[in-house]
Amino acid sequence: MEHRIPTAMMTERKVALDIVYICSSELVLLMLILEIPEERKLDLLKNLAEFSPYATPQDSRQLLPAVVQLLKKYMPRRRTGEEMNFTYVECLLYTFHHLAYKTPNATNSLCGYKIVTGQPSDRLGEDFSDYYKDFMERKNNFCLRS
């Protein structure tokens, strides 16, 4: 991926499409980030964050579950003895923000955030409050550590 980006620097949109194409499946994104060496993870997360504003709603819908899974991995629920990598979490939160903005209905089933749009679908009987509590506990733990 490192070699592909500089050769495709015609426009930011072209590079963004390359990044999204490479990471177009949540499984591919998770495997890339979990399997690559530690020194390369930050580069991948920074590139993903940098180009997340250019992702289409369809791409956002595909990438958002993987980003939430990675947030859960790097934002533990409770304090542990190991040190938290704030840069990873910062990149993932930035990416989450841009992707969730483009697909607001996807956040309810992933992390319990309910976006009220005034549509009849807002009143569906689904309860994702456990996801919300879990995500908020992780976020609060992250805020206390920073």
Determine the average pLDDT of the residues in 5-21: 49
pLDDT at 94 over 90: yes
pLDDT more than 70, % of the chain: 52
Q: Give the best-scoring range by mean pLDDT among 14-18, 19-23, 76-80.
A: 76-80
- For residue 106, the model assigns a pLDDT of 74
Distance CA 101, CA 75 (A): 21
Exposure string over 115-139, b if 16+ CB within 10 A, otherwise e: eeeeeeeeeeeeebeebbeebeebe
> How many other CB atoms sit within 10 Å of the CB of residue 145?
13
Identify which has the larger pLDDT, 64 or 81: 64
pLDDT at 44 over 70: yes
Q: Around 133, how many Cα atoms within 13 Å sit in the side-chain half-sphere?
A: 4
Q: For 42-46, 91-95, 99-103, 105-109, which range has the lowest pLDDT when averaged over its residues?
A: 105-109
